[in-house]
């Protein structure tokens, strides 16, 4: 995707609402899982919030890698670390934050299916409609032609650091970077946040 992509900053209030909505959909179908698999890293917070809302005690992790750097896919999606526990005979819900190409969740679901669970479903907070896999449950769809990079609260500093460094390569200096992030990405970043980023990467 674009070097400086259009972004949407998600708040913790958005996250709470998405978790409530997904949990309600699971409950409507009486499909409470016995194990939740959280994809690392983006799916960990959503998985934990859903475990709380659904009263699920067993949370297992699975590492899928695709978009290594903000808005930059790193080749094909891969499972780089297997499940942290067995899921034989379990009702499994595989959870991630967003399906974009859908490759990570697709691979994860396949990986889980091969480990003899009784049932596998999937859930994400957001679903971009270009994704090749539609999760069983999601809170909100983003139309493919409205693609944005979603800056989740659990990825804020990482995303901001990457985007600010890219902006600084063209227009160095904290205030010019701030103006570039607003104009190009649609991100209104407090100056103090960029001052913090500037302590770890040079912004000019």
Q: Which parts of this chain interact with ligand AMP (CB under 6 A)?
A: 42, 66-67, 77, 96-105, 131, 149-150
169 vs 45: CA distance, rounded Å? 32
Shortest separation between residue 161's beta carbon and ligand AMP, angstroms: 15
Nearer to ligand AMP by Cβ, of 139 and 150: the residue is 150
132 vs 106: CA distance, rounded Å? 8
Q: Which residues are catalytic?
A: 100
15 vs 24: CA distance, rounded Å? 14
What is the number of the residue whose Cβ is closest to ligand AMP? 42
Nearer to ligand AMP by Cβ, of 97 and 121: the residue is 97
Cβ atoms of residues 9 and 189 within 8 Å: no
Cβ atoms of residues 131 and 145 within 8 Å: no
Shortest separation between residue 149's beta carbon and ligand AMP, angstroms: 4
Nearer to ligand AMP by Cβ, of 152 and 174: the residue is 152
> What does R_g of the chain's alpha carbons equal in angstroms?
18
Shortest separation between residue 151's beta carbon and ligand AMP, angstroms: 7
Nearer to ligand AMP by Cβ, of 61 and 174: the residue is 61
Shortest separation between residue 96's beta carbon and ligand AMP, angstroms: 4
Shortest separation between residue 113's beta carbon and ligand AMP, angstroms: 17
Nearer to ligand AMP by Cβ, of 96 and 121: the residue is 96
């Amino acid at each position: 995707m674009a070097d400086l992509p259009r972004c949407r900053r998600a708040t913790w209030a958005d996250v709470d609402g998405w978790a409530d909505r997904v949990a309600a959909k699971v409950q409507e179908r009486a499909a409470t899982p016995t194990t939740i698999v959280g994809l690392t890293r983006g799916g960990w917070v959503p998985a934990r919030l859903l475990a709380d809302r659904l009263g699920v005690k067993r949370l297992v992790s699975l590492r899928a890698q695709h978009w290594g750097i903000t808005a930059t896919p790193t080749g094909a999606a891969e499972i780089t670390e297997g499940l942290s526990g067995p899921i034989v005979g379990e009702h499994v819900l595989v959870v991630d934050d967003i399906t974009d190409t859908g490759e990570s969740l697709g691979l994860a679901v396949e990986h889980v299916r091969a480990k003899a669970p009784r049932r596998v479903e999937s859930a994400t907070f957001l679903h971009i409609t270009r994704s090749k896999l539609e999760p069983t449950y999601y809170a909100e769809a983003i139309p493919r032609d409205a693609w944005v990079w979603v800056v989740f609260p659990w990825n804020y500093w990482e995303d901001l650091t990457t985007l600010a460094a890219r902006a600084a390569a063209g227009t160095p200096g904290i205030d010019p970077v701030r103006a570039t992030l607003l104009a190009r990405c649609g991100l209104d970043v407090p100056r103090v946040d960029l001052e913090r980023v500037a302590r770890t990467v040079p912004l000019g």
